[in-house]
Structure formats: C-alpha cells, structure tokens
C-alpha cells in the first residue's frame, strides 16, 4: 500500500499544471541536496582527522560532547521547515482504506524528508572512518544506532509541536536557558552530553534505550494522530474569530495611511507575517558575523552586512508584496484600487522600519564608528534605492501565501524568477562594488558619501521610478491573478 501511495504522488507531480517550473525547482533542490551531502560527508572526514591529529583528542568523545547541540539544532530545523504531509492524505479519507494504514504512511513519509535523513550521512561517514581507525565494530554500531535513533525522535516531537506555538516557545526558552547554563559553565551540559552519548560506544546494549523510545513514540504519535484523523476534526482548517482593530492616527494620511493601517494589522495577526517580523529582528544581529571571520571586514562585505542589518524587513517583506495579499488579490483588482498608492504604502512601511533599524544599528558603534557609518550609508541606500527595487522584484513573485499557516517550504516555485535574480545586481552588487572602490581611492569618507549620494538620488527620483514599477505590476497583473487562483 505504501508503494501505491508513492506512485500516486509521483503521478500527481507529473500531471500538475506547473510541471516545467516544478521540475526546474526539483532539479535545483537536487543540486542543493547534493551540495549539502558533499559538505556533510567531507565534514565527517575533516572532523575526525582534525580532532585526532590537530587537537590530539578522541574524535568520538568530542563529537559525543556536542551531540546535545546537534540534537537541539536538528529539532529546531525540523520544526521550522519540515511539514507534516496531511494535505496529500485527505483525499484518501473518503475511500475504503484503513485509517491505520494512512496514519502509518504519514508517519513513515516524514522520514523521507531531506531534513530527516540528511544529517545521518555525517554519522554514517564518521562511523565508517572510525572503524578503519581501530574502533570497536560493536561499539561503533551501538553508538551510531543510539545517535541516529535520538535524532529521528525529533520527527515525532515535531508532530506534537505542530500548531502549538506556545509549547514550542516554552521549549525554545528552555533551550536558551540550557545553552546559557552550559556557556557560563554553571551546569556542565557538554560533559553530560559526552557521558550519555559516549556510553553507547562503551556499552552498546544501551543503544536499545533510544530504539525503545523510538518505538514508544511511534505508537504514541500513531494514537495521537489516529484520534485526530478526521476531516471535521484534526485535519480541518483552523478558523479563528476575527477581531476588529484600527490604528486611528494612520487614517489621517489618506489612502496610503489606510493601506499602511491594513499592513500593520496583517503583520500583528498572522503566523507567516509574525515570522517575517522575527526574521527581521534576527537580521539586526547579522553584523556580529563580522567578528567571526576576517572576510566580513573587507569593504565590500562590510557593505553587504550593512544592507542586511538595516534592510532585513525590507528584503523579507517587500519582495512578497502581492503574495501577502494573494487570498483577496483577485477581488482587490476588480475594485477601483489606486495601484500607485497601494505600492507607496508598502514602500513607506518598509522605509519606516528601515529607519528604525538604522537607529538600532547605532549599537555597532561600540565596535568602531567606521562600522556604524558604513551601516548608516547602507541604510540610506536601502531607503533610496533598494526599497524600490525590492518592490519591483515583488511584481514577479507569484507564490500564494496562506497567512494562517507556518511557511516551512524553502525555494517555492513561484518565488523563483530570472528577472528577480537579475535585480540582485543593483540591490547588492552595485553598492558593494561602489563602496569598495570609493573607499580604496578616497577612504571611508568617500565610500560613505558615494553610497549616501546614490541613496539620496534614488529617493528624489522615486516618483518616476514608481511609474515604472506600477507599469510592471499592471503588466504582470493577470498572470499573477491566475497564479494565485491555482
């Protein structure tokens, strides 16, 4: 029965209306997976021999020491990006197929996800290298089974977390507390991790404990999903009671203020947009990478980091402008909506947040005023130039977004467009190149002034640029509506 389900999914893929785009994205993802596979396999070799020859320590003990960190990261990644395949199961609920079979298939399919098995390549390679370097066959086998079984437990934990954001936040806070206790050596977390995971090698029979936990959690998840496995109960679309809110002072700015009002309420209410706000906040810390590698201290990379620190919200929100309104975009296009004011509202919202980010980035002056004024210039460029190019790239983004569900999938088909990729040149490469050249010939002052001038010119020419952007939005109007309806 499992093979029949897989055959049906393969047929649905090739019979889809967007086969060409789907196939292209699958090929790109395949090359991406190959890249990460190579990194993990190569990383296992490098980790073993570096620890053994350079650090002169036991590689198995060192890896066991940091397994608690790997386990936490694995759970976080699966929670953020691994979907539970309920949508493909729904059509079978009306057929004469045992629900037990469907639930088991759904549980088994989670292990086919790349997020489930990709990390196993590291431990498979590491175990093979360890065997060829004198480690016990039985011990390595016990260690490998114990480690992989504990990582696969995250699949079941992810199922319990799905849709329970409060519980996920509580667990996340616990992870932060554990990390802080270990970092400040209040509790020897890494030592405990080494003792637990290395015990699978010293006493291979202990590997049966995570295996038993795996079987028990499978049974618990099966019972949990089986009870909720009805179209009118666990698998139905969640409906929330609507709330009427109004930010009154924005309405005094006319149509633009009304649109900004709607966008602010959208950002506050929905799961996807809350994720955008969280991601924008995290981008403020992107500049800390400058102090982890010397490459980030080069002029071009300093500007690159500054663009992301001050423009995180702009990049995450602006390039999905029509997609956020996809649920009612066709209706909106039938009304007398002033397109230019609609886009200007998005533009003002992005720039207001960018301005706030520039102020917050003042904290980077602690690492030197040269760093901050570079970020300040990047912020001006984001306001004057990138805000408009980001809106422009949004015209070619035809990915429908469900605001009430977590956006877990990477590289969605509608978000990939060659024109949007080409727009990265003026958004990223141009300011990096100009700043690097100006700083090389005239110093930091010339570099900052050159970027600031470009940003000011872009701001002054915004009306003419907006006319071009509106023209492209209208040109893509019907293809966008058609994409949102499918």
> Quick one: pLDDT at residue 402?
67
Q: How confident is the chain (486 residues) per 10-residue block, as mean pLDDT?
A: 67 56 67 85 91 90 92 85 64 73 80 83 93 92 94 88 75 86 86 93 93 92 79 51 56 74 78 77 77 67 86 82 75 74 86 90 84 88 87 74 55 46 71 86 87 90 85 78 71
pLDDT of residue 410: 37
Using a 10 angstrom Cβ sphere, with 0-12 exposed, 13-18 middle and 19 or more buried, the burial of residue 338 is middle
| Pair 455, 351: CB distance under 8 Å | no
Residue matched to tokens 């727009």 = 423
Q: How far apart are CA 411 and CA 394, in angstroms?
A: 15
Tell me the Cα Rg of the chain: 26
**Any residues with CB less than 8 A from the CB of 31 and at least 6 apart, and which?**
none
User: Would you give the distance in Å from CA 214 to the centre of its chain?
Assistant: 28
d(CA 469, CA 471): 5
Q: What contacts 156, CB < 8 A, 6 or more positions away? A: 107, 217, 218, 220, 221
Give the count of alpha carbons within 13 A of 281, CB side only: 6
In the structure encoding, which two tokens stand for residue 456, read together?
């000011």
- pTM score of the predicted model: 0.58
Closest CA to 407 of 345, 324, 463: 324
Cα 299 from Cα 286, distance rounded (Å): 16
């Amino acid at each position: 029965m499992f093979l029949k389900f897989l055959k049906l999914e393969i047929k649905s893929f090739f019979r889809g209306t967007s086969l060409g785009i789907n196939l292209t994205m699958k090929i790109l993802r395949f090359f991406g997976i190959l890249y990460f596979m190579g990194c993990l396999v190569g990383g296992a070799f490098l980790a073993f021999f570096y620890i053994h020859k350079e650090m002169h320590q036991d590689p198995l003990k060192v890896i066991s020491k940091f397994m608690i960190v790997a386990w936490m990261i694995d759970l976080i990644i699966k929670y953020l990006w691994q979907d539970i395949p309920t949508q493909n199961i729904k059509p079978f609920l009306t057929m004469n197929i045992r629900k037990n079979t469907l639930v088991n298939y759904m549980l088994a399919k989670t292990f086919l996800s790349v997020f489930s098995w990709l990390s196993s390549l590291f431990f498979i390679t590491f175990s093979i290298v360890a065997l060829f370097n004198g480690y016990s066959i039985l011990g390595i086998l016990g260690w490998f089974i114990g480690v992989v079984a504990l990582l696969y437990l995250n699949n079941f934990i992810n199922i319990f977390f799905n849709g329970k954001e409060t519980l996920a936040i509580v667990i996340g806070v616990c992870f932060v507390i554990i990390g802080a206790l270990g970092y400040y050596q209040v509790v020897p977390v890494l030592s405990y991790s080494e003792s637990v995971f290395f015990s699978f090698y010293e006493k291979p029979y202990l590997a049966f404990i995570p295996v038993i936990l795996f079987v028990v959690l499978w049974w618990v998840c099966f019972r949990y999903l089986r009870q909720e496995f009805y179209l009118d109960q666990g698998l139905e679309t969640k409906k929330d009671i609507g709330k009427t809110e109004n930010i009154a002072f924005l309405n005094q700015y006319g149509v633009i203020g009304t649109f900004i009002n709607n966008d602010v309420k959208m950002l506050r209410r929905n799961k996807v947009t809350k994720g955008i706000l969280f991601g924008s906040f995290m981008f403020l810390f992107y500049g800390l990478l400058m102090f982890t590698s010397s490459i980030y201290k080069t002029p071009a990379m300093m500007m690159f980091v500054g663009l992301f620190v001050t423009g995180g919200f702009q990049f995450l929100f602006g390039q999905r402008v029509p997609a956020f309104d996809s649920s009612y975009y066709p209706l909106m296009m039938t009304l007398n909506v002033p397109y230019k004011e609609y886009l200007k509202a998005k533009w003002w919202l992005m720039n207001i947040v960018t301005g706030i980010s520039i102020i917050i980035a003042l904290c980077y002056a602690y690492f030197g005023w040269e760093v901050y004024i570079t970020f300040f210039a990047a912020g001006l460029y984001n306001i004057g130039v990138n805000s408009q190019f980001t809106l422009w790239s949004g015209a070619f983004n035809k990915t429908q977004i469900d605001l009430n569900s977590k956006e877990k999938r990477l590289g969605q088909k509608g978000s990939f467009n060659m024109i949007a990729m080409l727009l990265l040149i003026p958004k990223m490469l141009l300011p990096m190149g100009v700043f690097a050249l100006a700083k090389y010939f005239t110093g930091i002052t010339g570099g900052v002034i050159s970027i600031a001038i470009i940003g000011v010119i872009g701001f002054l020419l915004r009306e003419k640029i907006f006319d071009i952007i509106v023209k492209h939005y209208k040109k893509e109007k019907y293809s966008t509506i058609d994409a949102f309806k499918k």
